């Protein structure tokens, strides 16, 4: 018994001495295994308790309990120290200087077409127009038939249409179908809306033609709307957008959904109307189509053409952007070149 007690005391001394040398959590685990694990002297002594005499048992029991507690206490104290040292080491090796300047975050910016669109909203907002969004994928009826372009009518050839595999569904070729949506929603109230959005045409791409481009449509319907309202509104818009020096003219034209119809031209802002490369020597730049809403279209929107009249216009926003920023090729707008986009 004396021998076991001495053994236990030696064990404690050796264990505590060893513990002082250890520096890593892994070494502490191994130490725990050796001195407090199943095969350790402490734990095997517990296992043999039944073999000791009645007198020996309390003496050995007390001794082994005291050693176990001492080893456990020493271990947890050491664990705290090892953890703290490890933390200090990583703080030292992975030093982070929070006062260093960070990497600048690259900021995006508005696309020039959206910059133009915002300006257009602002101008027409001033005049009391509301923005009305309508679908980019349309039915054949909305894109054509209700706009007075019946099936198989040659007027459909004015637009190079993307037909989808679904019978009667097309990608809208212009924002004009929005006229029908807006009228049906507003009826019987007056309409004064701007309809912006993407249009798609199967066209040969060149300096001024894209397959996908933006238009905005204007639609005003009320009692007593005249051609003078159309002219005044478009002239005001042009001056506000391109400067007071820009003047306009309406050139007779044809659209199936307006009667009479016109093209809106603006005096060339690059040469002051003298004639230059941009206006092909004519002194005029075309902005879009317009006219008085055709009675058939008014009817399709729900309005009685005997009581109501209205005007509509459709202007290309991409081409407006080219003029505004003096960009010479429409294809720059969508080829996503950061060197181009950064300039706005």
For residue 152, the minimal CB distance to ligand FA5 (Å) is: 20
Neighbours of 47 (CB within 10 A): 9
Comparing CB distances to ligand FA5, the nearer of 32 and 201 is 201
Return all residues near 55 (Cβ < 8 A) that are at least 6 apart: none
* Nearest of 168, 178, 172, 175 to residue 140 by alpha carbon: 168
Comparing CB distances to ligand FA5, the nearer of 67 and 250 is 250
**Coil/strand/helix, residue 253:** strand
- Which helix (H) or strand (E) segment is 264 a member of? strand 258-267
Tell me the chain's radius of gyration from C-alpha atoms. 42
What is the DSSP code string of 56-124? HHHHHHHHHHHHHHHHHHHHHHHHHHHHHHHHHHHHHHT---TTS--PPPPP----HHHHHHHHHHHHH
For residue 238, the minimal CB distance to ligand FA5 (Å) is: 13
Comparing CB distances to ligand FA5, the nearer of 71 and 316 is 316
Comparing CB distances to ligand FA5, the nearer of 298 and 313 is 313
Provide the b/e sequence for 213-249 (b: ≥16 CB within 10 Å).
bbbbbbbbbbeebeeebbbebbbebbbbbbeeebebe
Alpha helices in 127-226 (DSSP H): 140-143, 177-186
Comparing CB distances to ligand FA5, the nearer of 140 and 210 is 210
For residue 310, the minimal CB distance to ligand FA5 (Å) is: 10
Instruction: Note the residues at the interface with ligand FA5 (CB under 6 A).
Output: 174, 176, 201, 203, 209-210, 213, 215, 217, 255, 258, 261, 286, 288-291, 312-314, 316, 318-319, 330
* Nearest of 110, 175, 103 to residue 143 by alpha carbon: 175
Q: Name the closest residue to ligand FA5 (Cβ).
A: 316
Comparing CB distances to ligand FA5, the nearer of 12 and 261 is 261
| Contact between 297 and 184 (Cβ < 8 Å) | no
Q: Which two tokens stand for residue 38?
A: 């199943």
Comparing CB distances to ligand FA5, the nearer of 186 and 213 is 213
For residue 294, the minimal CB distance to ligand FA5 (Å) is: 9
Comparing CB distances to ligand FA5, the nearer of 44 and 282 is 282
Comparing CB distances to ligand FA5, the nearer of 31 and 159 is 159
For residue 273, the minimal CB distance to ligand FA5 (Å) is: 19
For residue 178, the minimal CB distance to ligand FA5 (Å) is: 10
d(CA 91, CA 87): 6
For residue 159, the minimal CB distance to ligand FA5 (Å) is: 7
| Contact between 327 and 206 (Cβ < 8 Å) | no
Q: Which two tokens stand for residue 141?
A: 């009826």
CB-count burial class (<10 Å; 0-12, 13-18, 19+) for 95: exposed
For residue 107, the minimal CB distance to ligand FA5 (Å) is: 29
For residue 190, the minimal CB distance to ligand FA5 (Å) is: 18
């Amino acid at each position: 018994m004396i021998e076991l007690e001495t053994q236990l005391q030696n064990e404690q001394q050796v264990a505590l001495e060893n513990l002082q040398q250890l520096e890593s959590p892994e070494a502490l685990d191994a130490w725990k295994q050796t001195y407090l694990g199943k095969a350790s002297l402490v734990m095997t002594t517990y296992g043999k308790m039944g073999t000791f005499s009645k007198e020996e048992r309390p003496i050995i029991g007390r001794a082994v309990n005291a050693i176990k507690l001492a080893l456990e206490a020493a271990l947890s104290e050491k664990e705290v120290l090892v953890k703290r040292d490890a933390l200090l080491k990583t703080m030292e090796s992975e030093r982070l200087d929070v006062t260093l300047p960070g990497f600048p975050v690259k900021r995006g910016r508005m696309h020039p077409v959206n910059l133009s669109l915002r300006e257009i909203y602002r101008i027409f907002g001033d005049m009391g127009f509301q923005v009305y969004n309508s679908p980019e994928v349309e039915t054949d009826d909305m894109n054509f038939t209700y706009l007075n372009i019946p099936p198989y009518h040659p007027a459909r050839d004015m637009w190079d249409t993307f037909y989808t595999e679904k019978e009667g569904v097309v990608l809208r070729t212009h924002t004009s179908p929005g006229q029908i949506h807006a009228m049906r929603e507003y009826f019987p109230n007056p309409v004064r809306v701007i309809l912006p959005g993407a249009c798609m045409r199967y066209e040969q791409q060149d300096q001024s033609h894209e397959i996908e481009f933006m238009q905005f449509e204007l639609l005003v319907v009320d009692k007593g709307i005249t051609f003078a309202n159309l002219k005044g509104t478009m002239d005001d818009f042009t001056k506000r957008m391109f400067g007071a020096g820009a003047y306009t003219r309406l050139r007779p034209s044809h659209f199936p959904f307006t009667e009479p119809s016109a093209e809106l031209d603006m005096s060339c802002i690059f040469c002051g109307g003298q004639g230059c490369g941009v206006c092909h020597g004519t002194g005029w730049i075309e902005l879009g189509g317009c006219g008085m809403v055709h009675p058939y279209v008014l009817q399709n929107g729900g309005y009685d053409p005997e009581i109501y009249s209205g005007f509509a216009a459709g202007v290309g926003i991409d081409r407006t952007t080219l003029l505004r920023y003096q960009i010479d090729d429409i294809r720059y707008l969508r080829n996503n070149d950061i060197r181009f986009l950064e300039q706005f």
